């Protein structure tokens, strides 16, 4: 009887011949290794004939056999464990809060997420953009501005979502973008006064606590002659938190009527007039309102140490007997002259007003108390309240009510008054 190995060789030979199209192909036979108990490897071999081919399959021996029975066995688990998906990322809070107002534009902006962020995760976006840096601390992303957001502005925050958006360290992403808007606080009245005082647009000076008093010192401390990032950052930060300091009257010669108008940190006629004087020098529309355009120009003027070239002027039109116009410039009286104010039916309104328009010569027209019309040429005109102005008008005498609301003075005093009463100069009418 043929051995098992012999039968295997025979089957292999026949199969090889069939695979070669009927021709016999001689191949070296596989070496058979006897088992420990004298059996051939045939006990662990299956021979399958498929079509005209032949497959030799090595199989393991039954469990419990020696090392030969497990040779070549794949020890990996038959079923791979499924990976657990990362939970989606969520925005828990934003600071400043959505809809917040009066925000300090120099303070950080932070976003807290539901899980720590990946090391290289994209960061939220802020608009308008300012120089600064985002940092990650676990689930919190924080933006620290290098230059503060401008006052009175809306700041928009957007947290990107999806595969290209913010992601957690575990791989979770936001389902949809998160958005928030907050508003920075307005421009500081106190800081406005400090800067205008430094540049000589107020009758007071201001010195910063610690010795940085003049605009030159402040500019040098923050990058003189430059409106770059360092200077602008420090100046905008000071708008949100004005430095401590002290206002001092430049001269002691001003009357009490002007001194009593001063209210540091509060809107006042003195401040309005100073803003108008600055606007006139900068070629900005003269309205006495310190908007962004005025602030931009003011910060540039501080950086370049551009002082008020006109000095400070204050005038009082007194309705006493006789009526007079007195003008102070830089703390001293430079003009005192008889004047005519309005008649009882058309009185000059009491109060304090800044000069807002000027003409060397112009035409005034209107209706007289008797119903007739006037059309008069007037000279050296400084309007301060509606149609009321300080100007020259020829009269036989001066010092008592004769006008229709204006403050009329003689020719030469009017020429001098016109020179001193620059835009923003205050005129007080006192009954």
Residues 407, 355 share a domain = yes
In the listed set 45, 61, 77, which residue is the last one of a domain according to the structure? Answer: 61
Q: Are residues 168 and 193 in the same domain?
A: no
Residue 193 and residue 179 in one domain: no
| Last residue within a domain, chosen from 304, 330, 349 | 304
Give the tens place of pLDDT for each residue, 238-269: 999 999 999 999 988 999 999 999 999 999 99
Q: Containing domain of residue 224, as a range?
A: 189-304
> Are 205 and 196 within 8 A, CB to CB?
no
- Tell me the C-alpha distance between 116 and 169, whole Å: 6
Closest CA relative to residue 276, chosen from 255, 334, 250, 268 = 268
Which own/partner contact pairs does 224-231 have at CB distance under 8 Å and 24+ positions apart?
Answer: 224/303, 224/305, 225/303, 225/304, 226/303, 227/299, 227/300, 227/303, 229/131, 229/146, 229/147, 231/303
**Same-domain status, 177 and 206:** no
Look at residue 339 and tell me if it is in a domain: yes
Please state, in angstroms and rounded to a whole number, the distance separating the CA atoms of residues 327 and 174: 69
Q: Per-residue pLDDT tens for 170-226?
A: 999 999 999 999 999 999 999 999 999 999 999 999 999 875 544 434 443 333 344
The per-residue pLDDT for 284 is 97
Is residue 96 reached through a cis peptide bond, with omega within 30 degrees of 0 on the bond before it?
Answer: yes
Instruction: Identify whether residues 328 and 416 lie together within a single domain.
Output: yes
Q: Is 62 helix (H, G, I), strand (E, B) or coil?
A: coil
- Check residue 71 and give its pLDDT: 41
Residue 21 resides in a domain = yes
Regarding whether 406 and 349 lie in a shared domain, the answer is: yes
pLDDT per residue as tens, the chain (431 positions): 444 444 434 433 444 333 334 333 333 333 333 344 444 434 444 343 333 333 333 344 444 434 444 344 444 444 444 457 889 999 999 999 999 999 999 999 999 999 999 999 999 999 999 999 999 999 999 999 999 999 999 999 999 999 999 999 999 999 999 999 999 999 999 999 999 999 999 999 999 987 554 443 444 333 334 445 688 889 999 999 999 999 999 988 999 999 999 999 999 999 999 999 999 999 999 999 999 999 999 999 999 999 999 999 999 999 999 999 999 999 999 999 999 999 998 999 999 999 999 999 999 999 988 889 999 999 999 999 999 999 999 999 999 999 999 999 999 999 999 999 999 999 999 98
- DSSP state letters, 197-256: HHTT-SSEEEEETTS--SHHHHHHHT-TT--SHHHHHHHHHHHHSPPPEEEEES-S-S-H
Domain membership flag for residue 79 = no
Residues 6+ apart with CB under 8 A from 216: 224, 305
The confidence score (pLDDT) of residue 39 equals 43
Query: Same domain, yes or no, for 300 and 319?
Result: no
CATH number of 106's domain: 2.60.40.1220
In a domain, 44, yes or no: yes
- Domain total of the chain: 4
What integer pLDDT is reported at residue 209 of this predicted model?
Answer: 87
Beta carbons of 385 and 354 less than 8 angstroms apart: no
User: Tokens 């992303």 map to which residue?
Assistant: 141
């Amino acid at each position: 009887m043929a051995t098992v190995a012999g039968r295997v060789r025979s089957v292999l030979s026949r199969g090889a011949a069939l695979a070669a199209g009927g021709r016999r192909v001689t191949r070296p036979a596989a070496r058979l290794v006897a088992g420990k108990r004298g059996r051939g490897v045939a006990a662990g071999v299956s021979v399958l004939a498929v079509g005209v081919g032949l497959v030799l399959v090595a199989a393991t021996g039954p469990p419990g056999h020696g090392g030969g029975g497990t040779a070549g066995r794949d020890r990996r688990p038959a079923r791979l464990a499924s990976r657990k998906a990362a939970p989606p990322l969520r925005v828990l809070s934003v600071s400043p809060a959505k809809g917040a107002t009066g925000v300090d534009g120099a303070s950080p902006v932070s976003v807290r997420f539901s899980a720590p962020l990946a090391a290289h995760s994209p960061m939220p976006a802020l608009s308008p953009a300012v120089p600064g840096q985002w940092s990650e601390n676990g689930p919190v992303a924080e933006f620290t501005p290098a230059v503060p957001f401008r006052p009175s502005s809306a700041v928009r925050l957007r947290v990107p979502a999806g595969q290209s958006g913010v992601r957690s360290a575990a791989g979770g992403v936001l389902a949809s973008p998160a958005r928030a808007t907050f508003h920075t606080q307005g421009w500081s009245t106190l800081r406005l006064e400090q800067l205008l005082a430094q540049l000589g647009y107020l009758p007071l000076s201001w010195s910063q606590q610690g010795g940085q008093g003049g605009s030159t010192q402040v500019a040098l401390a923050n990058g003189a002659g430059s409106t770059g990032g360092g200077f602008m950052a420090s100046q905008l930060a000071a708008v949100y938190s004005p430095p401590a300091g002290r206002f001092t009257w430049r001269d002691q010669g001003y009357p009490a009527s002007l001194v009593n108008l001063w209210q540091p940190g509060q809107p006042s006629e003195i401040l309005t007039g100073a803003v108008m004087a600055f606007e006139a020098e900068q070629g900005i529309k003269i309205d006495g309102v310190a908007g962004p355009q005025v602030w931009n120009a003011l910060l540039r003027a501080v950086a370049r140490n551009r002082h008020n070239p006109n000095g400070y002027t204050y005038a009082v039109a007194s309705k006493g007997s006789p009526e007079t116009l007195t003008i102070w410039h830089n703390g001293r009286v430079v003009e005192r002259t008889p004047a005519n104010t309005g008649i009882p039916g058309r009185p000059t309104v009491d109060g304090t007003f800044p000069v807002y328009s000027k003409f060397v010569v112009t035409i005034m027209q209107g209706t007289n108390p008797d119903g007739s019309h006037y059309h008069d040429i007037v000279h050296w005109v400084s309007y301060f309240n509606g149609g009321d102005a300080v100007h020259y008008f020829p009269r036989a005498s001066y010092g008592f009510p004769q006008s229709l609301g204006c403050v009329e003075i003689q020719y030469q005093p009017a020429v001098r008054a016109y020179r001193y009463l620059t835009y923003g100069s205050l005129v007080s009418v006192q009954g």
